[in-house]
Amino acid sequence: MAVNDAGNQSQCYVRLPFADLEGHSVQLKDLMGAATYDRDGADVLARGLFLDLPPWGYHVFELTAL
């Protein structure tokens, strides 16, 4: 889950502690909305997952390694 607890748009990188994502594609499905994001697992491990949330916005992700 990621929450922007501010009245302005905010960005960040979220580090994921799942070393087994290396060599896989990753799908993140927002359980609270319609968004689905496909990312390279190695990229997510190296930089983290980039998030750009509107004021008071949030995501609740289901993560699947493909």
Query: What span, in angstroms and rounded, lies between the C-alpha atoms of 20 and 1?
Result: 20
Structure confidence by residue, pLDDT tens digits, 7-49: 999 999 999 888 889 999 999 999 998 989 999 999 999 999 9
The whole-number pLDDT of residue 55 equals 98
* Residue burial 12-43, b: 16+ Cβ < 10 Å; e: rest: eeeeeeeeebeebebebbeeeeeeebebebee
Task: Give the per-residue pLDDT at 50.
Answer: 93
